[in-house]
Every structure is written in structure tokens, then in C-alpha cells.
Structure 1
Amino acid sequence: MMDIKKVVLAYSGGLDTSVIVKWLQDKYGCEVITYTADLGQNEDLEPIKEKALKVGATKAYIEDVREEFLKDYVMKAFKFGALYEGKYPLATALGRPLITKKMIEIAKKENADAIAHGSTGKGNDQVRFDVSAVALKPDIKVLAPVREWELKSRDEEIEYAKKHNIPVPVTKEKPYSIDRNIWGLSIEAGPLEDPFFEPPEDIYSLTVSPKEAPDEPEYITIDFEEGMPVAINSQRMGLVELVEKANEIAGRHGVGRIDMIENRLVGIKSREIYEAPAAVLLLEAKRSLDELILDRESLHLKDQLAQKYAELVYYGYWFSETREALDAFADVLNKRATGTVKVKLYKGTATAVARKSDYALYSKQLATYDPTDTFNHKYGEAFCYIWGLPLKVLGQIRK
């Protein structure tokens, strides 16, 4: 058995991490220090601190990192329009490297031997925590009790918690696993593990049912400066306030529900439900602006690299040079990403319907077919001849 005297645990106050505090103490006889990051869970974290101390932690750190999360993590992926498998805005995946970074800082400060997390052996988060930790501190030990303990199901964990008087916010009747931050919410487990099961309405908390959304559409404008959203309806605000506002507006129109069969990093498929009102709204607006200001080759290459960027985040490679290099690419393309996009919100959809920018590459004089057209149509014949020449030669050989 490893000689572990002090552990920093990523602590949410949920079922797994609540049980882990006691389990670590029993297995290693070690001191447990908890760390809880306020990523915009929209809950009072003081009771979580009290719970951590109550179940045996010697210290409980709580830190508001919403601004840092949005500015240094979310917005980097946002500039690419990165979506894993074309759907997932990476809310949870983007939060893990930041949490790990903070835990490593505390481990150094407290002279801890290890950090610990509550991820399972077939989940994605185990990789994100483990890989991020060793990237930042190669000699750190990383513990994941759920991968090795004797508790084989969530029901057994609940019984363990009851036996040791550990309060947990989950019941056998609603055994959903929920992770929330300001950029989105994920829901899994329980009956949702049946891919043919339609999610019940009561699992959603950030969005109203599209059926119950307003019968009239709402139009809002999003202002961008160098790829960053800075204002809603011409009202400038900080990132945290802006994303919270976007969540509220889009959520009341039922925008942001995602139901997908996702390919996990470990090679299995899982059914995931996400709510991400602000992400869906803002990404729709940003995509519309990019179409307006980027040339064809830049836009197409950005789309290709966005997929790679999303994979790097999803796979836990945030602290890689590849991700840093891609950030430099995105920064160049976003230098001119300044403008305004109007979005229509209606019954679960967010659709960009108008956009403008001083840096637009769109020219009405070139695009129009009315008398103001400045495009010389005679050049089209020569262009088609040169463009099709390789295929013409190939056709002759085939014939």
C-alpha cells in the first residue's frame, strides 16, 4: 500500500465524494483536505464546506473561479466553436483542468502526497484529472477510490453513506448523476442509460420545455470584440454576467437541450443529456459572425481544427503544447471577429437571422444580381475551364 499521509480531494458534496472522504481515511489513515471550485453551480457552497468538515476533512477550500473558468478555458474553446462530436459544448470537460490546477496548487501549499477525485474507471473525468495532474506535477500521486473500492453500484454507495451518517443529495428513486457549471449541465445514469428512453421533463432545470416556451419569438443581439461576447442587446457586461444572462434568456425559450449517444474516451458509448442554453445561443451567434468575416480557407481550416481542439479538451490534453499552438491559431483568426449578430429565439431553437461587422468580407456589389452588380460574368467561362482542367484530362484518360 502507498504511504499516503495527506490528500487533496476534489469535493462536490455529492454521493461519490462524500463517501470518498471517509473511505480514504479508513484505507490510508490519512488527512483529507477538500477543494470545491465555484464554477457557477448556482448553489450555496458554504453548506458543502460544512459537510466536508463534518464527514472528516481537516480543511475545506472553496474558491470562486467563474471568471477564470470563462476567460481562460471556456472562451479559448469558444473562439474555435469547439463541439465534441458536433454537439457537446464541453462544459464539464473544460472545468476539470482548472479544478486540477487549483488542487495541485493546494497540494504544494499543504505538502500533500496525493490528490484524489471521484471519477469512475470507465468515465472521461478520470483521464482529465489524472493526465492534467501529472502534466502539472509529474511526481504527484493520483487516487480514484471509485476505481478500486468494494462498492459496486450507486445503491451500495447510498447504503454506505447511510451507515456512516453521511448526508447525500441523491435517492434510489432519482439516482441521476448531475454536474453543473455556468457553461452547462450534464445529466446521466438511472433510466437515462436506456437509449430508447425519452428523458422525463423533470430532469431539466435550466430550460423550459419548448412546448411551454413563449408563443412569440424573441430577438436579441450579441456584440463581439475580437471573438469575445461583450454585450447583449447593446448592454455591455462582464463575462460572468453575460453568460448568466444568456442562460436565462435562452433557457426560457427552451434553447440548449442536447441528447446524444457519445463516444467516451475509454471506447464505450454512453447516453448523455446536456443543458447549455448560453453555449448554444452564443455559439450560434459566433458561427454567424465567423461566416461573415473569415475567408473560405480560414473558415474551413478553423472548422477542421475545431474538431481536433474539442477532442484534445475531451481527452484531457488541456495542458498540451498542441492545444496552446491551436490557441495561437484561433487568436489570429479572431482579431477581426468584431461585430453584431441578431438571434431569433423560438420554441427550443436559436437561429442567427442578421449580422454585421466593419470587417465583413461580404460585398453586396459582388454578390448581387441587380443592376449594381460589379462582377464580370465573362470571367466565369475561363475560370470554369481552368478549374475543371484536371478532371478534363482525367476524363480523357478514362475514355
Structure 2
Amino acid sequence: MLPPRMVVLYFEEGRPVGIDEQRLNFVKLVGELNKIGLQYGLPWKASVESRPMGKGEIEWNLTPGVDVLREAMCRLRAASVPPRMHQELFRFNAQLAEDIVRGGLHNTTTVAYINVIRELCVNVTGSVELTFYPGFVRASRPKPDRPVTVAEAPCGHLPPPKNALDSVNALIAHNVVGQAFRTEKQMREHYNWQADQCTKAF
């Protein structure tokens, strides 16, 4: 049984640039994360997409177990989610992202972690701690070098946050593809708010 292993992933303006104390180019960074993931039985593979401006983007493709995939597809169909949105829902799920940033534990076959972490770290210069366990990984909340504000994010209409965690949660909550797996409590609050707005309109 492998002992837990903590890795610190560093970001500059929202993109990962190094692991632990090493500054790595994208190819080496992806290779290192792949190697660690395989050691811990995580069925992922990562690749690098180069961009003209010289920056890259890490995209994680997971191979979910049959049972996990079947359960997730049933939930998507029950929520009347169009098939074209299924892939995006797996990648940017608001509830899972919120749990991850708060340090929750999850089976890695259900969500592409690095995509979610990058979504959480839009414009963040700082670090995220990944703790690998056999079969799953825990991600800490981002630790920015300076406070992150909604004004720095691409959604100018969001309310000002009380802290950086509120900021990233607000960004993800406004990502339309992340709404299908809202908790029952969140859905009730949403519908109650809509009803209040309709009442005020009359």
C-alpha cells in the first residue's frame, strides 16, 4: 500500500508552471503528473495543447469505470441534459468543484481534476496542494499570492466576493454547464428566489 504523497502545483495567472520546487515546461509537468497518477492507480492520461502565444493548456482525459459512467449517465438523463453537454458537465461540475476547493475527497474516475482546478484558479498566481492516495486524490483550496477579486475574472456582472473562495465559487456557479448536479437545497433556494422576483415584479 502506497503512503499518501503531497504535490504542490504552482500557477501563474491561472496556468500551472511547476511541481513542488521545480519550474517545468508543460511537457515535463504533464509527464510528471502522469507518472505520479499511474503509481497511485489513477486511470488518467494528460496531454499538452500548444497555443500560438507560447502558452499551453493541460487537458486531462480520464477513463471512468463502467459502473461510474453508467450511474453518471443515468443522472444526466434524469436531469434532461442534452447529450452534447455531457462531456462538459463531467469536466466543469459546480458542486464537485466546490467540494474539491474545500478539500473534499473524490473518486478520480468521476471528474477531470486538473480541468476543474484550472477553472478554480483562473487568474490566480499561487499554489494548490494535491495529495495522492491509492485510487483518489485530494485538492486543497487555491492559495493565491494576493487576494483574487471578481473584477479580475471574465464575468464583470458578478457581485463582489467576501474572499477568494467566494470569488472562484461564484465564477463556477455562473458556468452554465455546471448546473445540472445542483443539490436539492440549492435547487429549492434557486426556485424560491425566482418566485420572489416574480412576486416583486407584480
In the superposition, the TM-score normalised over structure 1's length comes to 0.22
Query: Highest relative contact order (Cα 8 Å, sep 6+), 1 or 2?
Result: 2
Rg larger in structure? 1
In the superposition, the TM-score normalised over structure 2's length comes to 0.41
